[in-house]
A and B are shown apart, each in its own frame.
Chain A
């Protein structure tokens, strides 16, 4: 078909499915038949041909539509150019339709078929929602629909509806087909420039400057030579000044373990979306630093991914985050349910939570109590109760005070906790965390 050449991207899908269109008649047909019958009866009763003539157009419409109606089988195949998108991106769904060639003679009437996609919530059609295509017998006809996904998630776009109608829309034949065609829409990550440096590092090589001494590039201090030190590390200038052998001590570059702790008990506005975007942005940044990153979705359904590094871990993290679901549950949960290998010792735990659910606050207390390096980024949300009346306003104020109290309590326990309002970038909240941790380290010596 001209203008619909092969799409440059690879296609997904393509399985052919037969669809039998099932016929139905419009309520107009009954009305037209009734009006025609009344006109004919009137003509007979009163002996006036003029009344009989009134029935002619209605009868003609019924007869013409009936003559054009016949059994229709349509074969459909679907394909999509991209199955992985970011939020706001578009994908092209291409449909190919065939009708079987029943006889060599051209068919009477139009084989024009209307097609539309039956899309789930969250996916929108760009352009005309219904497209009409002429399907010549025995030849394929192609259609393209452009879909746009505004929000992350998994979407099934394989359901289409077909309809044939006679020119007067008295007779209709409809059918639908459901092909397995899923697109995955990933959240757009938050743009971040700098990470929150972990307090402790692990034993493997990485990009974080460790607090311990060892072989590395980063200069730590000058100290006296002890047996076992390398001669190449001797600082001759310092040796000359002090009169004893002095060596340069360095800090090694090590990696660290980072755990992203997501509160998935409930969604408050867009809190979950923002938390997921922040998680992906943080994971990207830490994985680039050759750190090991894991994720824990702490909610109605507890899910986790053990820390790992590299590109493979990035894909696993993104898929794990994409599969995160809000499942309301009233069961009490603790971090004791989390396997030990998911929470390695000395890991930096970054919690992304609206600080509303008590179970999350208790879990964070446990993490802090067990000595994990904890950072809390409160995904500030609008009050869950719309402050339309005095009671609602009071409830909103109480919730805000409660969150402030929690943050103050964490600050007292030397846990960095900052609020991330919806209208501010995450970088700002992380900078507050970095400042707090720097200040806390100075105070602790």
Chain B
């Protein structure tokens, strides 16, 4: 049901050419995947690599579809770049999963990496939000 709602949100965003529903729909799809993992055994799900790449490509495609750009042009470069980033993320994901496989659950190293990355991201989000609010 969450997936259906996410898809409806994405379609609505594409129809009304709004970018915010695209982000929400991707978040909901990720949440749906995350909820599907709850209750699953502790072994690592390799499909997460493909899910991550698919979510990123869906987000990028959705944003490109709804853009109202004065410099209208065929977005070949961003599409190629998106695919390249998705493939690169798969490689990095494989490394992460390989590292994670050596720990049964999220070990102290991964926990530390996760905390640092989360803090960095929160910092980016807050600074950007502050900058936009000030302008």
A residues in contact (CB < 8 Å) with B: 25, 27-44, 46-62, 64, 114, 116, 129-130, 163, 166-169
Contact = CB atoms under 8 A, between A and B. Distances in A.
Contacts of B125: 30, 33-34, 37
Given A27-B19, A41-B118, A54-B33, A60 B89 contact: yes
A218 to B, nearest CB: 67
A167 B82 CA distance: 8
A114 B73 CA distance: 10
Contact of B129 (A30, A36, A41): A30
Nearest to A118: B70
A169 B78 contact: yes
B52 A35 contact: no
B23 A46 contact: no
Contact of A53 (B48, B73, B78): B48
Question: Which among B38, B52, B100 has the highest number of chain A CB atoms within 10 Å?
Answer: B52
Given A31-B23, A57-B56, A168-B60, A37 B128 contact: no
Contacts of A38: 27, 30
Contact of B19 (A28, A37, A52, A64): A28
Given A31-B23, A168-B81, A54 B51 contact: yes
B38 A46 contact: yes
Given A28-B19, A38-B30, A56-B52, A50 B117 contact: no
25 contacts: A28-B60, A29-B128, A30-B125, A31-B22, A33-B121, A34-B27, A35-B26, A40-B118, A42-B30, A44-B111, A49-B48, A49-B96, A49-B100, A49-B110, A51-B34, A54-B33, A61-B82, A130-B71, A167-B78, A167-B80, A167-B81, A167-B84, A168-B60, A168-B81, A169-B77
Interface in B87-135: 88-89, 92-93, 96-97, 100, 105-106, 110-111, 114-115, 117-118, 121-122, 124-125, 128-129, 132
Contacts of A56: 52, 89, 92-93, 96
Interface string B47-86: 0110111011001100110000001110101101110111
A116 B71 CA distance: 8
A30 B128 contact: yes
A351 to B, nearest CB: 46
Question: Which among B37, B55, B118 has the highest number of chain A CB atoms within 10 Å?
Answer: B118
* Residues of B contacting A: mostly: helix
A40 B23 contact: no
A56 B88 CA distance: 9
The 10 nearest A-B residue pairs measured at CB: A57-B89, A167-B81, A50-B48, A57-B56, A31-B23, A37-B121, A49-B100, A40-B118, A56-B89, A53-B93
Contact of B23 (A34, A49, A163, A167): A34
B33 A168 contact: no
B44 interface: yes
A44 B71 CA distance: 41
A21 to B, nearest CB: 14
Given A53-B97, A57-B88, A60-B92, 11 more contacts: A28-B19, A30-B129, A44-B115, A51-B37, A56-B89, A56-B92, A57-B55, A61-B56, A114-B73, A168-B60, A168-B78
Interface of B: 19, 22-23, 26-27, 30-31, 33-34, 37-38, 44-45, 48-49, 51-53, 55-56, 59-60, 63-64, 71-73, 75, 77-78, 80-82, 84-86, 88-89, 92-93, 96-97, 100, 105-106, 110-111, 114-115, 117-118, 121-122, 124-125, 128-129, 132
A130 to B, nearest CB: 5
Contacts of B52: 53-57
B121 A36 contact: yes
Given A31-B23, A43-B114, A60-B85, A53 B96 contact: yes
A88 B96 CA distance: 63
Given A54-B48, A57-B52, A42 B34 contact: yes
B106 A35 contact: no
A52 B85 contact: no
Nearest to A64: B85
Given A48-B34, A50-B44, A57-B53, A40 B121 contact: yes
Contact of B118 (A44, A53, A62, A166): A44
Contacts of A114: 71, 73
Nearest to A28: B63
A29 B19 CA distance: 12
A49 B59 contact: no
Given A25-B128, A130-B71, A167-B80, A40 B85 contact: no
B38 A39 contact: no
Question: Which among A34, A53, A55 has the highest number of chain B CB atoms within 10 Å?
Answer: A53
Question: Which among A54, A129, A169 has the highest number of chain B CB atoms within 10 Å?
Answer: A54
A29 B59 CA distance: 11
A56 B55 CA distance: 11
